[in-house]
Amino acid sequence: MKTPNSIHIIADFSGCPAELLELRQQGEEILRLTIEKSGLSCVMIRSHQFEPSGYTAAALLTESHITLHTWPEHAAVQIDIFTCGSHDRARAAFSELKSLFRPLKVAEKILFRRLDSLSET
């Protein structure tokens, strides 16, 4: 049996339009669009609204998850995409998030994870 090779994309976007970062409903819609356009499979989307603004939104995927954590006061969002499924779909989701959030700056890191690289403790 082949060991799963997962992709984990971690990114910080800054210089995003504040109106995309304020309300949890915006985050849920961004996740819906991203999942639809990338071909990933959504199980559910949940979010939490912070006061006075900002949100955390998470999509549970059959392949794993996507999360968004926003800071409107800093025009920033931190993104986490993890999937044991298609790397191309994860990359497509990342591209879609860049397109939707329109950041001026992007810092990203891509990790490749394998179950057989875990050691027993």
Catalytic residues: 64, 69, 84
The phi and psi torsions of 80 (rounded to 5 degrees) equal -135, 120
45: nearest Cα among 33, 53, 54 = 33
DSSP structure string for 82-93: EESS-HHHHHHH
Within a 13 Å sphere around the CA of 66, how many CA atoms are in the beta-carbon half?
30
Rounded to the nearest 10°, the torsion over CA 33, 56, 63, 4 is 130
49: nearest Cα among 75, 27, 80 = 27
